[in-house]
Amino acid sequence: MKAYIFPGQGAQFTGMGLDLYESSQMAKDLFHHANEILGFDITKIMFQGSPEELKETKVTQPAIFLHSAILAETMGSSFQPDMVAGHSLGEISALVANKTLAFSDGLQLVYKRALAMQKACELTPSTMAAVLGLEDGIVEQICASIEGIVVAANYNCPGQLVISGDVDAVNEACESLKQAGARRALLLPVGGAFHSPLMKPAREELALAIEATNFKSPACPIYQNVSTTAVIDPSRIKENLILQLTAPVKWTQSIQNMIKDGATHFIEVGPGNVLQGLVKKINPEAETSKATL
CATH number, domain containing residue 267: 3.40.366.10
pLDDT of res. 46: 97
Phi, psi of 71 (to 5 degrees): -60, -45
Query: How large is the average pLDDT for residues 117-140?
Result: 95
pLDDT of res. 293: 81
Do residues 112 and 32 both lie within one domain?
yes
Report if pTM > 0.75: yes
Do residues 182 and 212 both lie within one domain?
no
Decide: 245 and 206 in contact? Cβ < 8 Å.
yes
pLDDT digit string (tens) for 179-220?
999 999 999 988 899 999 999 999 999 999 999 999 999 999
Do residues 110 and 144 both lie within one domain?
no
Decide: 136 and 161 in contact? Cβ < 8 Å.
yes
Do residues 75 and 220 both lie within one domain?
yes
- Which parts of the chain fold into alpha helices (H)? 18-23, 25-38, 42-48, 51-55, 57-74, 90-97, 103-123, 136-145, 167-179, 200-211, 234-243, 251-260, 274-282
**Half-sphere exposure in the Cβ direction for 202 (13 Å, CA):** 30
Do residues 113 and 248 both lie within one domain?
yes
Decide: 282 and 19 in contact? Cβ < 8 Å.
no
Q: Which of 88, 126, 164, 254 is catalytic?
A: 88
Task: Indicate whether 192 belongs to any domain.
Answer: no
Do residues 159 and 283 both lie within one domain?
no
253/257 Cα distance (integer angstroms): 6
Instruction: Answer yes or no: 195 catalytic.
Output: yes
Task: Indicate whether 243 belongs to any domain.
Answer: yes
Q: Which of 195, 196, 227, 254 is catalytic?
A: 195
Q: Over 90: is that where the pLDDT of 21 sits?
A: yes
275/268 Cα distance (integer angstroms): 7
Do residues 228 and 99 both lie within one domain?
yes
CATH of the domain at 145: 3.30.70.250
Do residues 20 and 115 both lie within one domain?
yes
139/209 Cα distance (integer angstroms): 34
Structural domain for 169, as ranges: 125-187
67/13 Cα distance (integer angstroms): 11
End position of a domain, from candidates 164, 187, 210? 187
Do residues 112 and 152 both lie within one domain?
no
113/58 Cα distance (integer angstroms): 9
pLDDT digit string (tens) for 114-124?
999 999 999 99
248/219 Cα distance (integer angstroms): 26
Task: Indicate whether 54 belongs to any domain.
Answer: yes
Q: How far is CA 169 from CA 165, 179, 186, in A?
A: 7, 15, 13
Do residues 157 and 201 both lie within one domain?
no
Instruction: Answer yes or no: 88 catalytic.
Output: yes
Total domains, the chain: 2
Do residues 12 and 45 both lie within one domain?
yes
Decide: 60 and 114 in contact? Cβ < 8 Å.
yes
First to last CA, the chain: 20
pLDDT of res. 191: 81
DSSP-assigned beta bridge partners for residue 152: 163
